[in-house]
């Protein structure tokens, strides 16, 4: 599912990243080398800081899901 979403976003000039993942999830992402094809951040705030200034003011193409105890999935379009 992540790979399909990643390809769809990249085709439209967007990106996919994960933030605030639990340690076990981060380990699985590293073992599966998923962290080599999408960015994984410690916090949602860290992921948001990587959004280019032009895109930061635009409305996200999907909701930013953030929770302290669950992984957060960010989906934003690039300009």
Contact predicate 74/21, CB 8 Å: no
Confidence of residue 54 (pLDDT cuts 50, 70, 90): low
pLDDT digits (tens, 9 = 90+) for 14-48: 888 889 999 999 999 999 998 898 889 999 999 88
Indicate the DSSP class of residue 60: P
Asked whether 72 and 18 are in contact (CB, 8 A), the reply is yes
| pLDDT at residue number 70 | 41
Note the pTM of the prediction, 2 decimals: 0.61
Count the domains in the chain: 1
Domain limits for position 62: 2-76
Query: Which of 36, 34, 74, 35 minimizes the C-alpha distance to 55?
Result: 74
């Amino acid at each position: 599912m992540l790979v399909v979403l990643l390809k769809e976003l990249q085709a439209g000039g967007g990106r996919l990243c994960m933030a605030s993942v639990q340690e076990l999830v981060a380990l699985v992402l590293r073992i599966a080398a998923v962290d080599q094809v999408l960015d994984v951040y410690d916090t949602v705030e860290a992921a948001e800081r990587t959004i280019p200034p032009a895109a930061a003011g635009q409305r996200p193409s999907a909701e930013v899901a953030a929770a302290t105890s669950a992984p957060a999935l960010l989906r934003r379009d690039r300009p």
